[in-house]
Amino acid sequence: MTAVPADFRALSARLGQDPLQVQGPGGNTSFKDGDVMWIKASGTELAEAETKDIFVAVDRERAKAEAMGAGDGTCKATVLDPENTLRPSIETTFHALLDWKVVAHTHSVATLVHAISAQGRAAAREKLAGLPFVLVPYRKPGVPLTGAIAERITAETQVIILESHGLVCAGESVEAASDMIAEVERRLAMPVHVAAAPAPATAPPDGYVWEEHATPLACDPRLRALALAGSYYPDHVVFLGAALPTEPGGVSVVCAEGVALKSGATSSQTAMLRCLMDVLGRLPEDWTPEAIGLDAEAELLNWDAEKYRQALAEKSSA
């Protein structure tokens, strides 16, 4: 079994170190070498792809079989090294399904700005015209999402916008996949519409610290209403809970003068709060984002796979 290529590790690390592409343990990349597919392990961070062993080798054909309903969909049984205790990403099934050698799934901020509203998705269709692109409706990550992808892709598809979730780009080489990501990012780039706000002058609630990057979520009326209205993509729910609360007690709290995070919040939780600001701060005023809804939030909050990812993220931040 060959080692994970250095250029693939470098691409993975570059994506993971860019908060406009990946936040905390979000996103995943894969590399296929014949029947072997290397996939990021659940709960690990792409940012550490060059410094830690974050990839798991799986039997691609068995993972494809799980994508089609054979097995439990976790792909734990497809891991080739029985001594490797890391779990493959919950999204291993769709990586296995795609025939491209290199697949990168990010939670690109530019993509999320487009993917969370009907107006944004319509704009994305226009901006990505001419690329081998499909748009996939929101489904719970894992086998349900893989099924939705399978229904819409062709052999030529290299760009997938996941509604209320993120971006998938693929290529037959690391360079080709990287170039496709760059082209999509260029076409979907969105300016920040909201001015930075000064840090709160008052003390945060007891047991919390101000997250200054997110201050406009409290002080800008439109952003405040959107931040309190619901959750717009899965990782927000996993690491911050549903929407943002206005009373202390949870991971974060929206006050009159700013947004605070609980003292000791993990780096993943901080990254998710900043991501929300990065997304909503770029949202055009005439685009109306759609929350994923209470049922979708409940699916994520009660999901063992995401509890496992949370636990690993907390361990790595300790």
Helix (H, G, I), strand (E, B) or coil at 77: helix
What's the confidence (pLDDT) of residue 316? 52
> Cα–Cα distances in Å, from 270 out to 14, 20, 251, 313?
19, 14, 10, 12
Q: Which residues pair with 250 in a beta bridge?
A: 248
Distance (Å, whole) CA 209 – CA 27: 27
CB atoms within 10 A of CB 250: 14
Low-confidence spans in the chain with pLDDT less than 50 = 306, 308-312, 315, 318
Closest C-alpha to 225, from 198, 199, 196, 254: 254
Number of H helices, E strands in the chain: 13, 10
Residue pair 109/20 in contact (Cβ under 8 Å)? The answer is: yes
pTM of structure: 0.93
C-alpha to C-alpha distance for 120 and 218, rounded to whole angstroms: 24
Q: What's the pLDDT at 309?
A: 47
Asked if residue 131 lies in contact with residue 185, where contact means CB atoms within 8 angstroms, the answer is no
Looking at residue 318, its pLDDT comes to 47
**Spatial distance between the Cα atoms of 243 and 315, rounded to a whole number of angstroms:** 24
Domains and CATH numbers, the chain: 6-188 (3.40.225.10), 208-317 (no CATH)
Reported for 219-227, long-range contacts at CB under 8 A and 24+ positions apart, including other chains, are 219/257, 219/258, 220/194, 222/285, 223/194, 223/277, 223/280, 223/281, 224/254, 226/280, 226/283, 226/289, 227/254, 227/259, 227/276, 227/280
Q: Please, which residues have CB within 8 angstroms of residue 211's CB and are 6 or more apart in sequence?
A: 252, 258, 259, 260, 261, 270, 273, 274
Half-sphere exposure at residue 162, Cβ-oriented, CA atoms within 13 angstroms: 30
- C-alpha count within 13 angstroms, C-beta hemisphere, residue 313: 28
How much is the pLDDT for 85? Answer: 87
Residue 39 CA to its chain's centroid (Å): 15
